[in-house]
Amino acid sequence: MKGDPVICQLHRQIEAAQLIPALRMLREDVHKRMDALFPSLPLEEYYRQLNGVHDALIQRTIALAEAELARSGKGSPPVPYAYVLFGSGGRKEQTLSSDQDSGIIYQDVSEPSASEGVAAYFEQLADTIVRLLQEMGYPPCDGNVISANPQWRLPLSGWSRQLDSWFEAAEWEAVRYLLIVADSRHVHGDAELLARLKNHYFSDMLARPVIIRRMLDNTIRHKMLIGVFGQLLKEQYGEDAGSIDIKYGAYIPMVNAIRLMAVQSEIRATSTLERLVALADKGIMTIQEAAEYKAAFLFFLRLRLIATEHNEDGMYMNNGKLASKYLTKDMIEELKQSLKLGKRLQRHVQKLTVGWLK
């Protein structure tokens, strides 16, 4: 992997690690190195290297989980499977303190009598992976979108039926799940399984265009934190009073808007920046618009890294809220302009979606 020599060395050590405590120490070394690189490394490159290390840590943890099951007499994976990341992991936008958003897709078995045993193996594997990643400092997703949850660990046929049911229901929670799946990215195992699921996903999308209307409602739920008079809308109560919710008041609204445009256009890229490139290539937005949105989004990504992190019960945590003291006068002005641009994007997506449905 190209990049910082120290990070490259850490990659080699991660690949060779045999114990979770060793991986935990390497993750701490990664944090120190990425903190040192933050002031000087271009932001896109910073995220590329950081998310590359997260992938390496997760991949090695999965390998160690498989080995643990083999040692305990459970054998090796009985059929090919894909370990999939959702959320910021799926979008390659993890910070130093991202949580676990994951799922498993495994190949169907030809003999129905073997399906129970296969399901039992992947249940044990998922539980082991989640536990080991927790020991590594990755907290489970608050919304229980995680491979240890049977809803997010299914054979390919089960996933296909589940997608069909979500598309058919078109209820708020089902639509939220469909948007989560749009961000899914293979990180370990058989990538073809996820590719086949995505084929099914977009086939269902074409068959049920009304789902886009439901997705729009979900997409615009989070508003940009900019008032009608151009003022920043800050947290008013509690220990975070006076801070700015960068995650849900800037970053997530932009992620959501660009994702919906990408889904409408059958774009399979999962990172927000890659989606912007693809949208410009397809003529859904101009090159100039894509460049403006990219600049605003990169600024939000930078602020996410500045947001206060803390270690809670051994887990790396970050609520995405940024204290005003970390913002200079110039940064506040740039934040206001970026939020206004994000608000314009939300209006554009609403107009585009309504036109698409006609």
For 100, list phi and psi in degrees, rounded to 5.
-95, 120
SS3 295: helix
> Would you say 194 and 163 are in contact if contact means Cβ atoms under 8 Å apart?
no
16-71 residue pLDDT tens: 999 999 999 999 999 999 999 999 999 999 999 999 999 999 999 999 999 999 99
Within 10 A of 277 (CB to CB), how many other CB atoms are there?
A: 15
- Closest among 158, 106, 60, 97 to 312, alpha carbons compared: 97
Supply φ then ψ for residue 315, to 5 degrees: -100, 140
- Segment 200-240, tens digit of pLDDT: 999 988 888 788 888 998 888 888 999 888 888 887 777 77
Rounded mean pLDDT of 119-139? 96
pLDDT digits (tens, 9 = 90+) for 263-307: 999 999 999 999 999 999 999 999 999 999 999 999 999 999 887
pLDDT at 232: 84
CATH of domain 209-358: 1.20.120
DSSP symbol at 1: -
Q: Calculate mean pLDDT across residues 106-129.
A: 94
Whether 161 shows a pLDDT value over 80: the answer reads yes
pLDDT value at position 308? 58
pLDDT at res. 107 = 97
The DSSP output letter for 197 is H
* Burial (CB count within 10 angstroms: exposed 0-12, middle 13-18, buried 19+), residue 230: exposed
Q: By three-state DSSP, how is residue 287 classified?
A: helix
For residue 129, the model assigns a pLDDT of: 98
Q: In the chain, what are the domain boundaries?
A: 209-358
Helix 191-207 with 172-182: angle, nearest 10 deg: 130
Please determine, for residue 1, whether its predicted confidence score (pLDDT) is greater than 60.
Answer: no
| Residue closest to 257 by CA, chosen among 139, 137, 352 | 352
pLDDT at 358 over 90: no
Instruction: Please count the CA atoms within 13 angstroms of the CA of 58 that sit on its side-chain side.
Output: 29
Residue pair 228/314 in contact by the 8 Å Cβ criterion: no
At 307, is the secondary structure helix, strand, or coil?
coil
Ramachandran angles phi, psi of 243, nearest 5°: -90, 170
- The whole-angstrom separation of Cα 139 and Cα 4 is 27
Specify the pTM: 0.93
Q: Residue 94: which H helix or E strand, with range? A: none
**Nearest-angstrom CA–CA distance, 90 and 185:** 5
Distances from the Cα of 343 to the Cαs of 230, 312, 334, 340, in angstroms?
Answer: 11, 34, 14, 5
Give the per-residue pLDDT at 295: 97
